[in-house]
Chains A and B, each alone.
Chain A
Amino acid sequence: GAVVSQHPSWVICKSGTSVKIECRSLDFQATTMFWYRQFPKQSLMLMATSNEGSKATYEQGVEKDKFLINHASLTLSTLTVTSAHPEDSSFYICSAREVTSGHNEQFFGPGTRLTVL
């Protein structure tokens, strides 16, 4: 399958700072990327869907001003956690697909573990 990378793999930051997480599709054009959050011992929760060149669509309850998503190219989407607080500590996972793909062609990144002190 296709490869999706995330950077960084893990990050520790102080409360109040902003953190940017990158998601890249390495060998295909990802017209759509998804951002998920996973708290310990819980399932993946979809945060937002981003389509290249347009604004992200956020799920209910997700603060768009806090979780800024940019999908400026067909191979890169970024999630910026602004003014991070300890409750934002979580595992963030992105996935990517081409718009013409079938259901089974969604590829996940390895995840980014964020710890806010």
Chain B
Amino acid sequence: AQKITQTQPGMFVQEKEAVTLDCTYDTSDQSYGLFWYKQPSSGEMIFLIYQGSYDEQNATEGRYSLNFQKARKSANLVISASQLGDSAMYFCAMSWNTGGFKTIFGAGTRLFVKA
């Protein structure tokens, strides 16, 4: 069965430092996508970064990078140079297209950036 696990309910990071948010997944599909979304208090889901299962290089988008370790089935998000505006809920997600496209989300990690 497909599964996404985020084991960190909350994380604190000092402003300007880097932080890693953990995500592991389980799937029997060979083709899948991994995502990270940011959800501020407004509720909107903000897309941050995407990694395809066949992508050999780790995805990067500005201050965000995805540490993709396929053999370990992990897709950790690294935020460099944290900013106060990064304080939000972060969700890891996985999509696949066997029997119909579907996306599932992890439980989320709340990030607090300290000044």
A and B co-occur in one complex: yes
A44 touches B33 (CB 8 A): no
A103 to B103, CA, bound (A): 9
The dominant DSSP class at the A interface is: strand
Q: A106 — which chain B residues lie within 8 A by C-beta?
A: 95, 101, 103
A46 to B105, CA, bound (A): 9
- Number of residues from B at the complex interface, CB < 8 A: 25
Q: How many A-B residue pairs have CB under 8 A?
A: 56
A41 to B52, CA, bound (A): 28
Q: B33 — which chain A residues lie within 8 A by C-beta?
A: 102-104
A residues lining the B interface (CB < 8 Å): 1, 32, 34, 38, 42-46, 49, 57, 91, 93, 95, 97, 102-104, 106, 108, 110-111, 113
7 contacts between A and B (CB under 8 A): A46-B103, A46-B104, A95-B45, A97-B101, A102-B33, A103-B50, A108-B37
